[in-house]
Amino acid sequence: MKYLLFFTIVFFNLEANDRITYAEGSNNNCSVKFEELVFDGLNTHPSIEMSRETIKAAEFEVDIAEWGYFPTPSIEYSVKSGDKNKITTRLDQPIWTGGKIDSAYDKAIAMKKEASHELNENRYKLIDNYVDALKEYLKTKKKIKALNHNKSKFYDLSQMLDRFIKAGELSLTDKNLLNSRIASLSSDLIITKSKHKVSLIQLEILTGKKINCKIDFNPQDMLPTQINVDKLVSELQEYHPTLKMMDAKILAAISEVDSAKSKMWPSLVLRAEHTKGTIYDESNPETETLVYLNLNISTGAGLSGLSNIDKAKIDISRTKFEKSSKLKELLDLLMIDYTNYITSVSHTQMILDDIEIAQNIFESNKRLFLSQKKSWLDLVNSLSELNKQKIKYVELLIDKNILEYKIALKTGRVDLETLEVAF
């Protein structure tokens, strides 16, 4: 008995201190929208900055590939013992390369598209991480409020119990039963506050700054009342950045095949050449200007050119299978979110009905207890069940809102740059 009372007093003191801390935070009237936090992350997160630099590098690669269509200047300087030297300047203009320049340009364009889609994929992942952290933040915030409300109801019972004990109707055993329930609530409240703090830290890490205000999340109806699953699947296939990035990789692999094939063909170059001086026979002209066509081909050692073509074709098949694997993975996640969303929607009304029933049972037990037709244990248990159903309802609503947002994100309804929602 002494240990139980000591345990209860310790929890009461801990909870009193926590309640003061939380009240100080609640007096802060400032608030920040969830979208504003995400914008901070989209502008400053290292993965986003890295993707932007990758796009810049890809743009330079496109410029380099475009210059391949233009003449290439070169200078050659030769010197021999004594005062003999020769300077040759050339200007080579490609006439026909068998597709070498085109394939290099196509690959650069594909890599630029891949870099752009990779940026959107990193935005998608970052937003998804924000939503996961927000889910825990909202759940713990609502649960803290519900637990504090539940404790106040148990304190009301405690005051009523004290009057019955003074009247000799109940014993200290009943008081200890109630204290154990309050201690359990206090323990749950401390754990929930710790989880709430962790979720806030996770959001601060994603944002890169301290969050001193409460976070507002006011989701609108992002999905229609009657959801067409086939439409969700088609929207995911059309808009998901990961799949678009895989499409760009396939284009790059196709350009690699074209590049390998082009090496089996000769290149025709128009060359303008000017030579000044000589290092050979003095009878050679000191200055000479030539314009001629140069035809050259280099297929590599043996039949290695054909092997390179086969290897490039295999890369196309591998990338296509990789896309199929990614698509299956994304569809599995979509179906899980869809199933959980439908479940949360269908259970919402059921939980409301359960709350109404639990409320009626509690009030009935309270009346019957006062008329000595129900035990104190029945009254305490009915209040615990009512509190349990209320917390379940709060968590269910948050799950519904978060799942709706995640489905909208997966199906391209959320703009990855502006966060605007398309209905």
Q: Where residue 283 falls among pLDDT bands split at 50, 70, 90?
A: low
Q: Is the pLDDT of residue 223 over 80?
A: no
Strand partners, 270: 93, 293
User: Going by DSSP bridges, is the β-strand pair 214-216/85-96 parallel, antiparallel, or unpaired?
Assistant: unpaired
Using CA atoms in the order 33, 342, 145, 390, what is the torsion angle rounded to 10 degrees?
Answer: 160
Q: How far is residue 382 from each of residues 149, 271, 347, 388, measured CA to CA in Å?
A: 16, 95, 21, 10
Burial class of residue 246, CB neighbours in 10 A (0-12, 13-18, 19+): buried
Q: Where residue 359 falls among pLDDT bands split at 50, 70, 90?
A: very high
Averaged pLDDT score across all residues of the chain: 86
What is the reported pTM? 0.82
pLDDT at 14: 36
User: Going by DSSP bridges, is the β-strand pair 72-79/85-96 parallel, antiparallel, or unpaired?
Assistant: antiparallel
pLDDT at 298: 81
CA distance 186 to 12: 7
**Mean pLDDT, to the nearest integer, of 109-121?**
95
CA distance 387 to 150: 6
Q: Is the pLDDT of residue 13 over 50?
A: no
What lies within 8 Å, CB to CB, of 34 at 6+ separation is 130, 134, 215, 216, 217
Q: Where residue 59 falls among pLDDT bands split at 50, 70, 90?
A: very high
69-90 burial code (b ≥16 CB/10 A, e <16): eeeeeeeeeeeeeeeeebebeb
pLDDT at 378: 87
For the chain, domains (ranges, CATH) are: 2-44+97-264+299-410 (1.20.1600.10)
**Mean pLDDT, to the nearest integer, of 313-342?**
95
Q: What is the pLDDT of residues 376-412, one digit of tens each?
A: 888 888 888 999 999 999 999 999 999 999 999 999 9
pLDDT at 156: 84
Burial class of residue 212, CB neighbours in 10 A (0-12, 13-18, 19+): exposed
Check: CB of residue 290 under 8 Å from CB of residue 89: no
Tokens at residue 174, please? 């009943």
Of the candidate ranges 83-97, 129-143, 278-292, 395-409, the one whose mean pLDDT is the lowest:
278-292
Place of tokens 């410029």: 63
Q: What is the pLDDT of residues 186-205, one digit of tens each?
A: 999 999 999 999 999 999 99
Tokens at residue 241, please? 């950045």
More reliable by pLDDT, 301 or 76: 76
Tokens at residue 322, please? 């990789």
Q: What is the 8-class DSSP label of residue 82? A: S
Burial class of residue 151, CB neighbours in 10 A (0-12, 13-18, 19+): buried
Q: Where residue 9 falls among pLDDT bands split at 50, 70, 90?
A: very low
Check: CB of residue 248 under 8 Å from CB of residue 110: yes
The per-residue DSSP string of 175-231 comes to: HHHHHHHHHHHHHHHHHHHHHHHHHHHHHHHHHTS---SEEE------S-SS--HHH
**Mean pLDDT, to the nearest integer, of 133-145?**
94
Place of tokens 């009237």: 29
**Mean pLDDT, to the nearest integer, of 63-89?**
87
